[in-house]
Amino acid sequence: MSQHTPLKVGVAGAGVMGRNHARVATDVRDFALTTIFDPDAAVATGVAEAYGAAPVMTAQDFVAAGLDAAIVATPNRHHADLSVALLEAGVHVLVEKPIAATVADAQRMIDAARANNRVLMVGQVERFNPAVEAVKRAVDGDDIISIQITRVGPFPPRMGEVGVVIDLAVHDIDIIRHLTGSEIVEVQPQLARTRADREDTALLQFRLENGVIAHITTNWVTPYKVRTLQVATKTKFVVADLMTRQVTEYFGQQSDGSYSTRGVMSWPNEPLKKELEAFAHAIRTGETPAVTGEDGLRNLEVALRCLGE
């Protein structure tokens, strides 16, 4: 296939995230959105018509749709079976986080991608948040001491069958692994179920292989959204607001306790678009994708450890 022929892409699961992917995919030069799969015919048809794609109502029809690439944004429990079927049919896959419902399922997906020489990328969209990129640039080459992340807000009406650890903390587990380049070896989770049959509040403490300590506060009980990332290194303290994308660096502390501050540039890119462009890039070049199946597996493994599973 020539570099200039757009890759035929389909989206599986036309919920909130799937609709976002469909909207963004139509805006990525490397992709031509051809197929939308949702078992709800009205939903599939509505989204497909909005983007000039064809609706399908079964996984079999989606796998047989002649796609080059697929975005899997179905409920987590369907990620593995659908992704494996796609990979075996020669389709490159971008799967929403978490990669799967179980570690064994994640491994099946990784194995299928390898056996069929296809790209498997995991949709850890915060990796592509310009504020996270700016923090990574600011702390690169510096000794990180600790990382603190707060990701809180009201209960989301869209939530299916998972709690805050799988829905929210998986983002932050990935950010911590990405910033440190190290793996999480110790987890100390505190979970509370205040209104539901699953945890809606979590305080998670981690120690990484390289000695960095990290703390995540996440919940669905705060009436307003907060998304902040703070990184302390030997020489500076960097604070980012992941929603406004504002990043501030505090450095050069004097003996009287005063210090200097500077704003760090972060670009106004849409993270989801950067993610889909990275997916297309991995397909075109054969390079390792920005967020691999192994990354997805590690993030899931840590999240499940936090849940005691």
Query: How confident is the model at residue 235, as a pLDDT?
Result: 94
Q: Is residue 1 part of a domain?
A: no
Asked if 132 contacts 177 with a C-beta cutoff of 8 angstroms, the reply is: no
What are the backbone dihedrals phi and psi of residue 215, each rounded to the nearest 5 degrees, phi first? -140, 130
Q: Domain end: 95, 118, 141, which one?
A: 118
Whether residue 222 is found in the same domain as residue 143 = yes
Query: How confident is the model at residue 162, as a pLDDT?
Result: 87
Asked if 201 contacts 192 with a C-beta cutoff of 8 angstroms, the reply is: yes
Q: What confidence tier does 253 reach under pLDDT thresholds 50, 70, 90? A: confident
Query: How confident is the model at residue 103, as a pLDDT?
Result: 97
Higher pLDDT, residue 27 or 197: 27
Whether residue 240 is found in the same domain as residue 132 = yes
Q: Is residue 87 part of a domain?
A: yes
Whether residue 63 is found in the same domain as residue 161 = no
Q: Is residue 167 part of a domain?
A: yes
Whether residue 181 is found in the same domain as residue 59 = no
Whether residue 206 is found in the same domain as residue 234 = yes
The mean pLDDT of the chain is: 95
**CA distances (Å), origin 172, targets 57, 145, 165, 235, 259:** 34, 17, 10, 23, 28
Asked if 251 contacts 236 with a C-beta cutoff of 8 angstroms, the reply is: yes
Residue 225 has pLDDT above 70, yes or no: yes
Cβ burial of 213 (10 Å; 0-12, 13-18, 19+) is middle
Pairing status of strand 213-219 against strand 221-233: unpaired
Whether residue 189 is found in the same domain as residue 114 = no
Higher pLDDT, residue 4 or 16: 16
Residue for token digits 């020539």?
2
Identify the CATH number of the domain in which residue 166 sits.
Answer: 3.30.360.10
**Each residue of 80-90: b (16+ CB within 10 Å) or e?**
bebbbbbbebe
Whether residue 106 is found in the same domain as residue 46 = yes
Query: How confident is the model at residue 257, as a pLDDT?
Result: 87
Q: Is residue 290 part of a domain?
A: no
End-to-end Cα separation, the chain, in angstroms: 44
Query: How confident is the model at residue 1, as a pLDDT?
Result: 53
Largest CA distance in the chain: 68
Residue 158 has pLDDT above 70, yes or no: no
Query: How confident is the model at residue 159, as a pLDDT?
Result: 61
Residue 294 has pLDDT above 60, yes or no: yes
Whether residue 264 is found in the same domain as residue 132 = yes
- Rounded-to-integer distance, Cα 36 and Cα 201, Å: 34
Domain count, the chain: 2
pLDDT in tens, 41-54: 999 999 999 999 99
Q: Is residue 73 part of a domain?
A: yes
Q: Is residue 289 part of a domain?
A: no
pLDDT in tens, 171-193: 999 999 999 999 999 999 999 99
What are the backbone dihedrals phi and psi of residue 202, each rounded to the nearest 5 degrees, phi first? -145, 135
pTM of structure: 0.95
Average pLDDT of the segment spanning 77-99: 98
Whether residue 205 is found in the same domain as residue 242 = yes
- The number of C-alpha atoms within 13 Å of 274 and in the hemisphere containing its C-beta is 16
Identify the CATH number of the domain in which residue 73 sits.
Answer: 3.40.50.720
Pairing status of strand 7-12 against strand 31-37: parallel
Average pLDDT of the segment spanning 95-120: 98
Q: Is residue 292 part of a domain?
A: no
Q: Is residue 163 part of a domain?
A: yes
Query: How confident is the model at residue 222, as a pLDDT?
Result: 96
Q: Domain end: 84, 118, 152, which one?
A: 118
Q: What confidence tier does 155 reach under pLDDT thresholds 50, 70, 90? A: confident
Q: Domain end: 78, 99, 118, which one?
A: 118
Whether residue 215 is found in the same domain as residue 135 = yes
Residue 54's domain spans which residues? 7-118
Whether residue 231 is found in the same domain as residue 131 = yes
Sign, CA dihedral 48-53-58-62, equals negative
* DSSP 3-state percent helix, strand, coil across the chain (nearest 5): 35, 30, 35
Whether residue 135 is found in the same domain as residue 55 = no
Q: What confidence tier does 198 reach under pLDDT thresholds 50, 70, 90? A: confident
Query: How confident is the model at residue 53, as a pLDDT?
Result: 98
Cβ burial of 103 (10 Å; 0-12, 13-18, 19+) is middle
